[in-house]
Amino acid sequence: MLEDIFGWEFARRCLPSSATQGLTLQLAGCRSKEWETVLRVQGGRSRGSNDMVRISRGWAKFASDNRLQLGDICLFELVPSMKRLKMIVHIICKLDEHM
């Protein structure tokens, strides 16, 4: 399974602390397509705890639609919004080792 977890420091500073929240993902450079997902917070969000912030429902569809492979990197850009949590996703594809 492709990893879909945010670091605790980013989550603590930038993301809402509610346990579960809707999250819209938009591929960088493509305004016409969005994926509705769920952002899930688990744990106490303090250093040293086993807390995790991950995208759950909808992540598999996003990964499949964008042909994500093991080794690809997703850079998440938080979009300020008063309505719904939204992130623009920049995909950095892993280089083929045989090139």
Residues 13, 16, 22: CA angle, nearest 5 degrees: 135
pLDDT at residue number 64: 95
Which CA distances in Å does 57 have to 3, 5, 20, 91?
A: 14, 13, 11, 19
pLDDT of residue 60: 93
Look-up of token digits 């909808």: 58
Compute the distance between CA of residue 77 and CA of residue 57 in angstroms, rounded to an integer: 19
Are 70 and 7 spatial neighbours (Cβ–Cβ below 8 Å)?
no
Closest CA to 40 of 48, 58, 49, 52: 52
Q: What is the pLDDT of residue 1?
A: 45
Q: Where are the domains of the chain?
A: 5-92
pLDDT tens for each residue of 31-59: 889 999 998 877 655 555 556 788 889 99
Homologous superfamily assigned to 5-92: DNA-binding pseudobarrel domain (2.40.330.10)
What's the whole-model pTM score? Answer: 0.78
